[in-house]
């Protein structure tokens, strides 16, 4: 019998078979996420194709690449982007889902799925919207997050690395951990322009604050904004969010946002990025 080399053994992948994936569906949100049994516990099987038509994938990709300076929306591209971003964030010292690369699922195209660590934790959105927690408790949870959030923003700008910006950043995509760290997820699409990294960071800040405003109880947002300004280390970066929304140096983007502000109904909402930028600038102007 021919001996098997160590290299060959390392390349042999564990084969998984799931006969009834429908019963394991965890979430359908543009992808299919399944909570599957794995090594005495569970893992999340993420399938990147199937929830949209080819035309929807193609048209969204055109908008992403040609208009939004983002990566492709095609299923294989989203998988590769996410795996690449997970590696980048982990190497930069940020907590992300573990990836099981030593397995394969029978009957599935390996370029269309990935198997991820299953983490049964509450998301930041769940904690900040928890009716059983007091305002002070929820403010403490939020301000505890701010140093890690800022560290990533600063690193992204320092490295001119747009992949360290959370393109789909909001409270639903962060899990506070028991050790005080924060787990980030959802990296299917990223921005591409290195020279616009600071702009993308500003957009992410406003996206998170919009999500915060929609999550906390009526009348609480001002308190959270006060504490954001008090605890977020870089006031210049917070102030830049207003320039991002209202005074972009690119005349085309500045005109596009002016049209958006004046003609789109969503721009009039209480927690639109424009109104959040106004509130944040006003908070920054208060004497301390």
Q: Does residue 203 sit within a domain?
A: yes
pLDDT at 9 over 70: no
Same domain, 104 and 130: no
Of 117, 141, 174, which residue constitutes the final position of a domain?
A: 117
pLDDT at 5 over 60: no
Of 72, 94, 117, which residue constitutes the final position of a domain?
A: 117
Instruction: Report, as an integer, the average pLDDT of 82-91.
Output: 98
Q: What is the pLDDT of residues 208-261, one digit of tens each?
A: 999 999 999 999 999 999 999 999 999 999 999 999 999 877 777 778 788 878
The structure tokens listed for 210 are: 């919009």
Same domain, 143 and 269: yes
pTM over 0.95: no
Q: Does residue 1 sit within a domain?
A: no
Q: Does residue 184 sit within a domain?
A: yes
Helix axes 235-246, 197-215, angle to 10 degrees: 90
Q: What is the DSSP string of 242-280?
A: HHHHH--SSHHHHHHHHHHHHH-GGGGSTTSHHHHHHHH
Identify the pLDDT of residue 106.
95
Identify the pLDDT of residue 11.
65
Q: What is the pLDDT of residues 32-81, one digit of tens each?
A: 999 999 999 999 999 999 778 888 888 989 988 988 899 999 999 999 99
Same domain, 76 and 109: yes
pLDDT confidence of 157, banded at 50, 70, 90? very high
Same domain, 256 and 140: yes
Same domain, 233 and 194: yes
Helix axes 221-231, 273-285, angle to 10 degrees: 60
Helix axes 197-215, 221-231, angle to 10 degrees: 140
Q: What is the CATH number of the domain that holds 41?
A: 3.30.200
Poorest-confidence range of 171-175, 176-180, 226-230, 247-251? 247-251
Same domain, 139 and 202: yes
Identify the pLDDT of residue 249.
77
Poorest-confidence range of 60-64, 86-90, 143-147, 216-220? 60-64
Considering its fold, how many domains does the chain have in total? 2
Share of the chain above pLDDT 70, in %: 96
Same domain, 193 and 257: yes
Q: Do 262 and 246 contact (CB within 8 A), yes or no? A: no
Q: Does residue 266 sit within a domain?
A: yes
Of 86, 117, 148, which residue constitutes the final position of a domain?
A: 117
SS3 assignment for 31-96: CEEEEEEECCEEEEEEECCCCCCHHHHHHHHHHHHHCCCECCCCHHHHHHHHHHHHHHHHHCCCEE
Q: What is the pLDDT of residues 91-137, one digit of tens each?
A: 999 999 999 999 999 999 999 999 999 999 999 999 999 999 999 99
Same domain, 171 and 272: yes
Residue 101 — φ and ψ, nearest 5°?
-95, -5
User: How high does pLDDT run on average in the chain?
Assistant: 92
Same domain, 243 and 206: yes
Q: How far apart are CA 84 and CA 75, in angstroms?
A: 14
Residue 108 belongs to what domain range?
A: 6-117
Identify the pLDDT of residue 2.
38
Identify the pLDDT of residue 4.
39
Same domain, 146 and 257: yes
pLDDT at 7 over 50: no
Q: Does residue 33 sit within a domain?
A: yes
Q: Does residue 195 sit within a domain?
A: yes
Identify the pLDDT of residue 253.
79
Same domain, 103 and 146: no
Identify the pLDDT of residue 6.
42
Same domain, 277 and 217: yes
Identify the pLDDT of residue 144.
97
Helix axes 221-231, 135-159, angle to 10 degrees: 50
Instruction: Decide: helix, strand or coil at residue 214.
Output: helix
Q: Does residue 135 sit within a domain?
A: yes
The structure tokens listed for 84 are: 């690449």
């Amino acid at each position: 019998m021919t001996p098997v080399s160590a290299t060959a053994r390392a390349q042999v992948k564990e084969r998984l078979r799931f006969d009834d994936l429908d019963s394991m569906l965890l979430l359908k949100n543009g992808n299919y996420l399944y909570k599957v049994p794995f090594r005495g516990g569970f893992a999340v099987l993420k399938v990147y194709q199937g929830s949209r038509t080819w035309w929807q994938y193609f048209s969204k990709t055109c908008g992403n690449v040609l208009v939004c300076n983002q990566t492709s929306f095609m299923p294989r591209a989203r998988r590769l982007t996410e795996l690449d971003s997970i590696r980048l964030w982990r190497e930069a010292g940020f907590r992300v889902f573990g990836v099981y690369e030593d397995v394969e699922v029978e009957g599935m195209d390996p370029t269309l799925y990935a198997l991820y660590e299953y983490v049964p934790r509450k998301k930041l959105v769940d904690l900040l919207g928890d009716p059983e927690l007091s305002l002070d408790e929820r403010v403490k949870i939020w301000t505890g997050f701010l140093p890690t959030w800022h560290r990533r923003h600063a690193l992204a700008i320092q490295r001119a690395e747009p992949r360290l910006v959370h393109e789909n950043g909001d409270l639903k995509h962060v899990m506070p951990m028991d050790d005080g760290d924060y787990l980030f997820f959802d990296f299917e699409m990223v921005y591409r322009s290195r020279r616009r990294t600071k702009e993308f960071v500003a957009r992410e800040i406003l996206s998170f604050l919009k999500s915060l405003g929609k999550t906390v109880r009526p009348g609480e947002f001002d308190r959270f904004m006060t504490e954001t300004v008090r605890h977020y280390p870089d006031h210049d970066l917070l102030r830049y969010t207003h320039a991002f929304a209202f005074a972009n140096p690119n005349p085309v983007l500045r005109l596009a946002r002016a049209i958006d502000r004046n003609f789109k109904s969503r721009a009039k909402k209480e927690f639109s990025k424009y109104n959040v930028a106004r509130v944040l600038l006003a908070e920054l102007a208060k004497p301390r």
